[in-house]
Amino acid sequence: MSFSNEEDLQRLQKILAQAGIASRRKAEELIKEGRVTLNGKVVTELGTKADPDHDYIKVDGRPLKRGETTELIYIALHKPDNVVSTASDPQRRKTVLDLLEGLKTRVFPVGRLDYHSTGLILLTNDGELANAITAAKSHIPKTYMAKTKGSLSPEEEEQFRNGVPVSGIRTAPAGLRLVRRGDNPWYEVRLIEGRNQQIRIMFKHFGHLVEKLRRISIGDVELGNLKPGEFRFLEPHEVKGLQRMSRPPKVAKDEVAPSELTLARRAVAPRRPAAKRQTPKAVAKAAENAAPKAPAKRANPSPARRSGPPTKRSGGPSVKRTGGPGVKRTGGTGPKRTGGPGRDR
C-alpha cells in the first residue's frame, strides 16, 4: 500500500510503461499474471496505483529503480525473415532485440510482424506512444508489399478493399494497389488493423497464397534503405507525426464526428507523394535561376583589317552615297567610289 499523496500516485501499468519495461497493454498482462510486486506484495488488480518515487516495485523479481528517469528513444528496424518480433521467445529463437547490438537502453517492440514476414518494426521505451499506436482507434495506416500466387480479379480487388470476413468479423476497409503484374504479382496493401496474419488470410479468402510479405511504412515512418537486420533512430518530426496520428481527430461542437468507417477509409486512401526536401543551398540556387536576368551585352566586333594604304576620310561627318550602284575600281591601289561627295579612298 502506498502512503504518498493522491496526486503523486499513478496506475501501476503506466509506471511500468514509462520505465521501459513493456507497453501499457503488455504491462497489464504482467500484472494479471502476478509477476509484479508492490512493496513486497503481489499485485493482480489493474487499478492499483503507486508512487514511482517512493514505492518499491519489482517485475519478475527485478526491482525498478525509484525516481529513475529514462530517456525516451524510438527505433526503426528492418526485421529479417525467421526472427520473432517479441522481447523474448520460449523456443529460444532469435528476437528483434538480439539485433540491437550496442544499445544499452531497454526497449520493446511496438506491435508485431509474423515470423516469416519482413520489414519495418518500431521499438521504443515510450509505453504511452506504443499503446496509442497499437490501439484500434488510432487508425495509423501500415503499408505492406505482398507477392501473391495468382492475381485478383477486379471484382475481388473491390471486395478486398471493402473488407472480407475473418473469423466471423469483417475486416476494416483496406487500400489495395497492383504494383507489378505477372503470374506472381506484387500488391501494395494498406491496413489500419493488426489482426494475426491478416493479409495472408485476406488473400487466402480469394484462393491466393502470399509468398512474400514486407512492411514498408507505419504512418509517415518509412523503411527506406534499411537492410535486413539494420536499424536507425527516428527523427524528431517522425516521432511528432506518430503522436499526432495516434490522437483522435478534433471535432467542433457544431460538427458531427466522422464514423469509424469514414475514418478507416480516409486512413487507407492512396497517399500523395511527399514533397522532396531541399537543402538551403538548393533553395538558393533555384531562386537564383528563377530571377530574371539582364540581357547580355554584345561585344563590338573588331573591325576587319584592310591591306593597302590607310583610308582617307573627307567631307562632312556622315557618309552619303550617291550615284552608281556599286564600287568602281580605276587602276589605283585601292577601291575608288565615284559620284557624290562621299568617301574617296
Residues with catalytic annotation?
Answer: 114
C-alpha cell belonging to residue 172: 476494416
Q: Is the dihedral of CA 57, 61, 67, 68 positive or negative?
A: negative
Q: Are 107 and 121 in contact (CB under 8 A)?
A: no
Distance CA 17, CA 50 (A): 13
Query: CA-based angle 143:145:149, to the nearest 5?
Result: 140
Place of cell 532469435: 94
Return all residues near 147 (Cβ < 8 A) that are at least 6 apart: 184, 185, 186, 210, 211, 212, 213
Distance CA 117, CA 140 (A): 19
